[in-house]
Structure 1
């Protein structure tokens, strides 16, 4: 459900959340929310996201590597092959199962 601006408590949203609403209203179906804990990313994803399309949640911690998040090349029998990390799997997926 998108915020329509007619809901009184939603009219004072910070600019970043207004921008998110604009992106979703424009039909963009893949958005990465990034920021410190407690800033409303999960709430926004669950509240503003399109529920029938699903969502993929990835919680990053300081001990994760770039490879864990985005992916990288792994050796295989013919040399090296790209292996998606969690964020790319989610980006390529259907919102429910990942890529």
Structure 2
């Protein structure tokens, strides 16, 4: 009988609660700065090691805004993504011919 149609809820036991909890090999990652400041992410071990750089793109009515975060490992399974400072590029002067 299908649980969705039987009207009964699945029972929660210590056995299946333990299997749904975090794996000790999962990584805990904290974001510092920018729009993701204060966000905590749990990266499951099955996804592999955390990425060295994360790019966050914010789309809105104006131009897209891109933020890059660089990983700083703190301890085994713990890391901080720090906001990368923006790159300042000189504005091209359109009034001067090439």
TM-score grouping bracket, smaller chain normalisation = under 0.3
- TM-score, normalised relative to structure 1: 0.19
The structure in which a higher percent of residues are strand is: 2
Select the structure that is richer in helix: 1
